Structure 1
Amino acid sequence: MKRADVKRRTSEGVVFDTQVMVNPANTAEWIVFFKKGAGRSFFLVDEAEQVETFASLDELMPELRALGIKRVEVQL
């Protein structure tokens, strides 16, 4: 799911079960995973539909706040 879509949906009151986890392809990076009802789930992707990665949790948390995410589970 692209940033604009996440931001729009959170502003509409949609609550995502948001998880942050280590990128399995590169354990020095973090990725974001959104779970929605009915078993649907999405990764945070960029405009080219590539999964966005973050170098640190310190870099990632302000990004999630800007998208309207209020709660997140971190999986180590």
Structure 2
Amino acid sequence: MWLLDSKSLELKLYYDDNIPPYAILSYAWGENEVSFQQMNGPRDQIQFHAGFIKIQRCCAQAATYGFEHI
């Protein structure tokens, strides 16, 4: 399972019983969304996309509740 680290915003792959607790993002698709491939690429190309800003805010909110992953 791919999870996003709520502090570094890096995607990490977890297997089987090693999946940590995580928050779930309820998401409404709009313009300038970020794909899985883009999240794995250079951030300077997506940092101002509306979708990336939503992801950043989700990670910040998850971190305030103690979740290290989304």
TM-score for the superposition, normalised by structure 2: 0.25
Larger helix proportion of the pair = 2
TM-score for the superposition, normalised by structure 1: 0.24
Larger strand proportion of the pair = 1
Highest RCO, 1 vs 2 (Cα 8 Å, sep ≥ 6): 2
